[in-house]
Amino acid sequence: MKLAEQKVWDVLIIGGGPAGLSAATVLARSRRSVAIIDEGRQRNLRSHGLHNYITRDGILPADFLDLVHEEIKQYPVSFFQGRALSVTRSEDQFSVSCADGNNFISKRLLLATGVSDQIPEVAGMKELWGKSIFHCPFCDGFECKEQHVGLYAQQLNGYGMALALKHIARKLTLFTDGGTYLRLAQKQKLEQQGIEVITKRIRKLLLDKGQLQGLELEDGRTVDCTALFTHHGISTNRSLLDQLGCRSTKKGAAITNRHQQTNVDGVYVAGDASIDMHFVVVAAAEGVKAAVAIHNDLLEKQYAEVLKYR
Ligand SMILES: Cc1cc2nc3c(=O)[nH]c(=O)nc-3n(C[C@H](O)[C@H](O)[C@H](O)COP(=O)(O)OP(=O)(O)OC[C@H]3O[C@@H](n4cnc5c(N)ncnc54)[C@H](O)[C@@H]3O)c2cc1C
């Protein structure tokens, strides 16, 4: 028999990124029994440094997670490494099964499962991801301010992002890699702003010592650039959300109220998997909001009889 089978946790958190860890801290400090199931693939792990999180500017994401784990040790939070595969809801309980056969039961469920980036299939992009290939001007733009920056927009048109990057970088070139999403009027507007638009396909990335130096096009022309942003799609890690019947936007983000509660009773979503912006600080804040709402919800249930006489 698996160890975890017998216990009914107050809260089960799936996902141990900033959203899940932050919620766990608040819940454990409110004396709730909390377990986190985490596969350990936090979205920004390959990044060269975390920005826009005050007091931790530039910290490696892995070091950031180590700090949180060190902090959380003082509270009774239980960690289980693994992938949650399926979830069912019955009465007021959730049952979650993991790939390794472990099964968990809880009164409330917080999904903090994040999103997955669909990194374009250009050779070398995955290797340079988070080092000289980025997706977010707010997260990594400032570090490229003196550089000739490329924007790769094959699947989406990249118009707005090109203007945002032009504001930050010394020079910007937009590569569509054969994509045709940019309208002629948009192309002209970009060119008026000094942004070159290159529609030719990209043959390969040019690297030196593991750093991007430029791109080679299908006609053999090379374009120097030392940082490349991609305007690509993401997919929400939503299998569990779907199994529970949680509502989501067209793009797949879970729809919650302002306390991170979904349309399914007892199910909360925080972090990138939910509808708001994708930042560590936002994920952490949503974790806090979900934790407070869950704690209050459990309190109401605990003291239902008493509260009747308020
Ligand atoms: C390259 C890059 C750089 C970035 N830089 C910055 C930055 O500088 N500043 C900033 O604020 N933000 C940055 N971000 C965004 C930031 O990474 C996210 O906003 C943040 O990680 C969201 O936290 P989260 O807890 O929602 O999800 P995540 O951190 O992605 O954590 C989700 C966790 O859930 C786990 N999981 C998913 N499904 C399951 C399952 N079924 N069972 C078990 N575990 C599961 C995953 O393995 C993962 O460990 C960056 C993102 C990228 C890709």
CB-CB contact of 292 with 26 (8 Å): yes
Alpha carbon nearest to ligand 1 atom 52, residue: 44
Question: According to the model, what pLDDT value does residue 155 have?
Answer: 87
Kindly state whether residues 109 and 19 are assigned to the same domain: yes
For ligand 1, the distance from its centroid to the CA atom of residue 154, given in whole angstroms, is 24
Alpha carbon nearest to ligand 1 atom 1, residue: 130
Ligand 1 contact, 38 CB (< 6 A)? yes
R_g (Cα) of the chain, nearest Å: 22
CB atoms within 10 A of CB 193: 11
Position 156 pLDDT exceeds 90: no
Picking from 230, 262, 292, the residue at the C-terminal end of a domain is 230
- Which three-class secondary structure string do you get for 38-93? ECCCCCCCCCCCCCCCCCCCCCCHHHHHHHHHHHHCCCCEEEEECCEEEEEEECCE
Ligand 1 contact, 271 CB (< 6 A)? yes
Instruction: State the total domains in the chain.
Output: 2
Question: According to the model, what pLDDT value does residue 276 have?
Answer: 87
What are the pLDDT digits (tens) for 74-90? 999 999 999 999 999 99
CB-CB contact of 50 with 59 (8 Å): yes
Ligand 1 contact, 15 CB (< 6 A)? yes
Amino acid making up residue 160: G
Kindly state whether residues 80 and 220 are assigned to the same domain: no
For ligand 1, the distance from its centroid to the CA atom of residue 300, given in whole angstroms, is 32
Please give the residue range of the domain that contains residue 134.
125-230
Kindly state whether residues 262 and 225 are assigned to the same domain: no
Kindly state whether residues 209 and 130 are assigned to the same domain: yes
Kindly state whether residues 31 and 164 are assigned to the same domain: no
Rounded to an integer, what is the distance from CA 304 to the centroid of its chain? 37
Measured CA to CA, the distance from residue 257 to residue 243 in angstroms comes to 20
Kindly state whether residues 214 and 238 are assigned to the same domain: no
For ligand 1, the distance from its centroid to the CA atom of residue 263, given in whole angstroms, is 23
Kindly state whether residues 218 and 243 are assigned to the same domain: no
Q: Please name the helix (run of DSSP H) or strand (run of DSSP E) that holds residue 126, with its range, or none.
A: helix 125-128
CB-CB contact of 217 with 223 (8 Å): yes
Q: Which residues does 168 contact at the CB level (< 8 Å), separation at least 6?
A: 137, 141, 142, 144, 145, 149
Kindly state whether residues 43 and 146 are assigned to the same domain: no
Q: Where are the beta strands (DSSP E) in 99-210?
A: 103-111, 115-117, 133-134, 148-152, 171-175, 196-198, 202-208
Kindly state whether residues 258 and 197 are assigned to the same domain: no
Kindly state whether residues 181 and 263 are assigned to the same domain: no
Question: According to the model, what pLDDT value does residue 4 have?
Answer: 46
Picking from 230, 264, 281, the residue at the C-terminal end of a domain is 230
Mean pLDDT of the chain: 94
Kindly state whether residues 16 and 66 are assigned to the same domain: yes
Q: What is the CATH number of the domain that holds 213?
A: 3.50.50.60
pLDDT class of 102 with cuts at 50, 70, 90: very high
Ligand 1 contact, 50 CB (< 6 A)? yes
Interhelix angle 18-29/280-302, rounded to 10 degrees, is 40
What are the pLDDT digits (tens) for 170-204? 999 999 999 989 999 999 999 999 999 999 999 99
Kindly state whether residues 16 and 94 are assigned to the same domain: yes
Alpha carbon nearest to ligand 1 atom 15, residue: 279
Rounded to an integer, what is the distance from CA 177 to the centroid of its chain? 26
Picking from 175, 210, 230, the residue at the C-terminal end of a domain is 230
Mean pLDDT value across residues 108-128: 92
pTM, 2 dp? 0.95
Instruction: Please state the φ and ψ torsions of residue 26, each to the nearest 5 degrees.
Output: -65, -45
For ligand 1, the distance from its centroid to the CA atom of residue 36, given in whole angstroms, is 15
What are the pLDDT digits (tens) for 19-53? 999 999 999 999 999 999 999 999 999 999 999 99
Rounded to an integer, what is the distance from CA 295 to the centroid of its chain? 24
